[in-house]
Amino acid sequence: MSELSDDDIKQLASRLCAAQSDLEKQLKLGEEASSVVTLDQSKVGRVSRMDAMQQQQMALSTLTKTRQRLMRIKAALNAINTGDYGYCRRCDEEIGLPRLMAQPEAPLCISCQSLSDNQQ
Ligand SMILES: [Zn+2]
């Protein structure tokens, strides 16, 4: 059994749901913004085209991060449904309530997370 109480899980689940709808909104806005940049490129000069491309790169990298976070959030919500929530996906140890409170979508415990950070 996990150390997480039903109340903890309820609280974390509602934060995950809120974060999910937030990120979905951000993604929608971001996708619209980056397609606007693409359309503008035909109309602007070389320097502003470089600017636009840089802006688009930034927008795309933000989008990628947002998508990755959204995937972790969906995986966490899914794990709540299946009763696997709160366990590290690498070592199967409990992730721990303080870490989950700070980052409800965390898929790894602190030691596995620092291992995978070091590998990058
Ligand atoms: Zn672990």
pLDDT tens figures, 88-104? 999 999 999 999 999 99
Report DSSP state, residue 41: T
Query: What is the pLDDT at residue 35?
Result: 75
The residue ranges of every structural domain in the chain are 6-86
Over residues 54-101, the pLDDT tens digits come to 888 888 899 999 999 999 999 999 999 999 999 999 999 999 999 999
Q: How far is the CA of 116 from the centre of ligand 1 (A)?
A: 10
Q: Give the C-alpha separation, 5 to 94, whole Å.
A: 13
Q: How far is the CA of 115 from the centre of ligand 1 (A)?
A: 9
Tell me the residue type at 29: L
3-state secondary structure of 90: coil
pTM score, two decimals? 0.80
Q: Are 99 and 68 in contact (CB under 8 A)?
A: no
Half-sphere exposure of 71 (CA within 13 A, CB side): 6
